[in-house]
Amino acid sequence: MKLAVQELVIRAPIDDVFAMLVDPELFVLWMADAATRELRQLTARRTALVRDRTAVRHRIHSTLAGELVAVPFAKLFDKLDWLKSVPLLSQPRAFVDSDLRLLESLDAEIAMLDKELAGQAWQDEKVKLLLTLPGVDYHVAMTLLGALGDISRFKDGDHAASYLGLAPSTHQSAGHCYHGPITKQGSSVLRWALVQAAHRAAISPQFQDYYQRQRERHGAGKAAVALARKLAVIAFYRWRQAEHAARPPAKVEKVRERSWAGAWSEDRPLRSD
């Protein structure tokens, strides 16, 4: 059995590399624990299944359009009985029936993952606090928890957004500075989930004005990404607030003044100086 070996290539002077090896504090990597890795795998699995379901739905729409069948409903997949009985030729009918079977299987698998994620979400106080954000459901909140892991690694919300790839790229040369599109580093699963949450939050009173301003300046796509970044920053601070609230209060020792007799006196007021 052959084992795959990953090599770490460091492009740095040999003296710097030797210093990293000698002093581990100069070369520190954060590694997610087992629970965080399992949560990442679970949310990534659900996202992949949702994308597969979307592809199947688009394929059904394409088949109906190829047969010049007009859909009389705004939401086709709420009317599966009509879809199963619509008259089609033999081959398109077989294609639609096959896609409907795939769609039923995907819905069942997604429902199982949703049940597991929901059970974990309602046991976490941080998730309950993140659910107060417009557009954020338990899936987005759990994806955020899995992607960021330990938030004490980040100085503030801007650093967390940069880690997720939602910060604009920067190109500098001499006195010139150009800010381009987002870097798209980090978890693509969480970026997709945050953009979906941004589309829902765009119609909320809390973010509607911000979204409309960004849309008028940059267009709908960039406005959704900008709102997704804002959601990530606000979620970071609410998460940190929840962790601070969960910490036990610091012990404060009562200061008492010694009386002239050498015994502790609680009735005597403290000295002002």
User: Average pLDDT over the chain, rounded to whole?
Assistant: 83
Is residue 6 over pLDDT 60?
no
- Which stretches of the chain are DSSP H helices? 14-22, 34-66, 80-85, 90-121, 125-130, 138-148, 157-163, 188-201, 208-218, 220-246
CB 129 within 8 A of CB 61: no
CB atoms within 10 A of CB 97: 13
Is residue 14 over pLDDT 80?
no
Q: Give the residue-averaged pLDDT of 83-107.
A: 94
CB atoms within 10 A of CB 53: 18
d(CA 121, CA 144): 12
- The model's pLDDT over 170-190, given as tens digits with 9 standing for 90+, comes to 888 877 888 888 888 888 899
d(CA 80, CA 75): 10
- The model's pLDDT over 202-236, given as tens digits with 9 standing for 90+, comes to 999 999 999 999 999 999 999 999 999 999 999 99
- The model's pLDDT over 30-51, given as tens digits with 9 standing for 90+, comes to 788 899 999 999 999 999 999 9
Is residue 271 over pLDDT 60?
no
Residue boundaries of the structural domains of the chain: 32-123, 125-169+181-240
Q: Give the residue-averaged pLDDT of 130-154.
A: 91
**What pLDDT is attached to residue 20?**
57
